[in-house]
Chains A and B, each alone.
Chain A
Amino acid sequence: MDFTAKYRAIFRIRFLNGLQYRLAALAGLSTQFFWGFMEILLFRAFYRADAAAFPMEFPALVSYIWLQQAFLTLYQSWYFENEIFDAITGGNVAYELCRPMNLYAFWFTRGMANRLSKAALRCLPVLLVAFLLPEPYGMTLPVSLPVFLLFLATMGMALLLAVSMTMLIYGLTFYTMSPLGLRTIFSSAAEFCSGALVPLPFLPEKMQEVLELLPFASVQNLPFRIYSGDIAGMEIVRGVALQIFWTASLTMLGMWIFRNALKRAVVQGG
């Protein structure tokens, strides 16, 4: 309990900090509604032409899109904290290193709290409206209770995975000292490979096979498709196993990078 108390405290302050920005949340919210509608209307037009030509059932796709909009800030791959980049490149990290705690765990907690606080303000309105919308634009209920529980569990793990990926970028910034290049490459690759732009089933089969193995597919792709029954049976087992594998290994890789980076750390700026 003692150990977690301090990380709970960090979580709390980051969460409070995130709640400060109500206007930003409101602006984000309206964008997400708009974006969700546009996407659904667009797909609707395609499906009208020939629904059989598409790899996902339309209701499953609609749920996928609404979930994506509701939990955007939870899994967004380009969602970095500029304060952390500034701390690394500007030398403020000196203060973080004067604390009796592990820097990796500290920032990891921060990242989770940040994403959760943003999502907390946004997810309920989106979900509420999505459920109230008429067919075929509205969201459907999960297939069954066990599926719903699995959905929740994989959502949680996906958050850990998303944060552990950003931690890798933070860790590498200790070496490059400019986050720009890393960020751009990582963000665009991750957007595409995680199914944030287009759901993965819509991609060519060969490509899909490769992408499904990558860590990006274990973030939003897995829980959102479990929810609507698009991933079922043995595929779930495989998906969950991969998700656990990636979360564990990326976290360990991140810790290792941090340990090495700090050993040769040069605190910038006098």
Chain B
Amino acid sequence: MITVEHISKSFRVSRRSAGMKEALRVLWKRQYDTIRALHDISFTIRDGEMVGYIGPNGAGKSSTIKILSGILTPDSGRCEINGRCPWRDRTRHVRDIGVVFGQRSQLWWDVPVIDSFELLRDVYRVPQEEYRRNFDELVELLNLAEIVKTPTRQLSLGQRMRCEIAASLLHSPKILFLDEPTIGLDAVSKLAVRSFIRELNRRRGTTVLLTTHDMQDIEALTSRVILIGKGQILLDGSLDGLKKQFSGGKILRVEYRGRTPELPDGLCWQERGEDHGALRLSPEKITVSEAISALSAQVELRDVSVEDTPIDEIVANLYREYRI
């Protein structure tokens, strides 16, 4: 169980304008700006839940993860994870959590991956039996059998990321924080990582908090999303609800023969070609079957397909709506 209440955190950033004169001036008088990275953040995550944490760059996602992992101390607010405060009880808290920072590496560069794994086993004092069990399971699910004998520096990004994820789970943490785990991965590796996370949650009931810019990650993994922008939580709810609220309707792709049809209320052109086009449909005004019959009354429809608004577009709408 993760409870976060009214967490705020600000950073000091030194700034200066371009130019030699400015550079010399700040040598003896520095100017600092205070950036509010997080402002009054509160949420609760139940055991076994998978939650997507989304927001544009610089919104405060990584800062939140770092506070939850006990790395950063917030300026104010309260946080309790499995009964402990992460930054006050850091050493004991980190035994219960696994963290993957997609842009960093925790594996030793020059030695085979398995050496890093064994180091982590000793650092977390994982009993040999449990280590063996976790190791075998992770190697099987992530397909690492050959990879773990290779030095980290010779792995591809996809192979390395799979090893990074495995490394975070060797001590059987109850909670997993994933900070952009699929960044830079190709389609196949992304799918592998996603199906692994889903399987992990199913088998072990691991609580997962995931930040990402890839909305397919969110769609594949989580049913709940928390949207953060400019350090504040803007939205916390189910993915389906979010889709309904911000999708702006469905997309109707049509191919037809004949003159351009008159559109009934609730339909409008999004793209328009010679004898084909995409129509945006507002579900509160018109149903799909009404729309199709209204169109087929006027023209000969040769092909019709109905699509949901792509999730990327929904998020873009969302960011626009909240001006972040």
- Chain A residues engaging chain B, CB cutoff 8 angstroms: 2, 5-6, 8-10, 12-13, 16-17, 20, 83, 91-92, 94-95, 97-102, 263, 265-267, 269-270
Contact = CB atoms under 8 A, between A and B. Distances in A.
B104 A5 contact: no
A61 to B, nearest CB: 38
B110 A100 contact: no
Contact of A13 (B73, B97, B108): B108
B125 interface: yes
A95 B98 CA distance: 10
Contact of A6 (B69, B99, B115, B125): B125
Q: Which among A9, A83, A95, A99 has the highest number of chain B CB atoms within 10 Å?
A: A95
B71 A98 contact: yes
Contacts of A263: 73
Given A16-B115, A17-B111, A95 B95 contact: no
Contacts of A12: 119
Given A91-B104, A95-B106, A100-B91, A10 B119 contact: yes
A118 B124 CA distance: 27
Given A92-B105, A94-B66, A2 B125 contact: yes
A2 B119 CA distance: 14
The 5 closest A-B pairs by CB, nearest first: A9-B122, A95-B106, A97-B71, A6-B123, A13-B119
Interface of B: 11, 57-58, 62, 66, 69-73, 90-92, 94-95, 97, 99, 101, 103-106, 108-111, 115-116, 118-119, 121-125
B254 to A, nearest CB: 44
B115 A13 contact: yes
Contacts of A94: 66, 69, 71, 99, 101, 104
13 contacts: A9-B122, A13-B115, A92-B105, A94-B66, A94-B69, A94-B101, A95-B104, A95-B106, A98-B99, A99-B124, A100-B124, A101-B91, A269-B103
B19 to A, nearest CB: 21
B64 to A, nearest CB: 12
A9 B121 CA distance: 9
Contact of A10 (B94, B109, B123): B123
Q: Which among B11, B94, B122 has the highest number of chain A CB atoms within 10 Å?
A: B122
A265 B71 contact: yes
A231 B118 CA distance: 45
A102 B91 CA distance: 8
Contact of B123 (A92, A97, A99, A270): A99
A178 to B, nearest CB: 13
Given A2-B125, A9-B122, A100-B123, A267 B106 contact: no
A21 to B, nearest CB: 8
Given A10-B123, A100-B92, A266 B11 contact: yes
Contact of B119 (A9, A91, A102, A269): A9
B105 A265 contact: no
A8 B116 CA distance: 14
A94 B115 CA distance: 20
Contact of A267 (B66, B111, B125): B66
A270 B103 contact: yes
Nearest to A16: B111
Contacts of A91: 104
A98 B91 contact: no
A6 B71 CA distance: 20
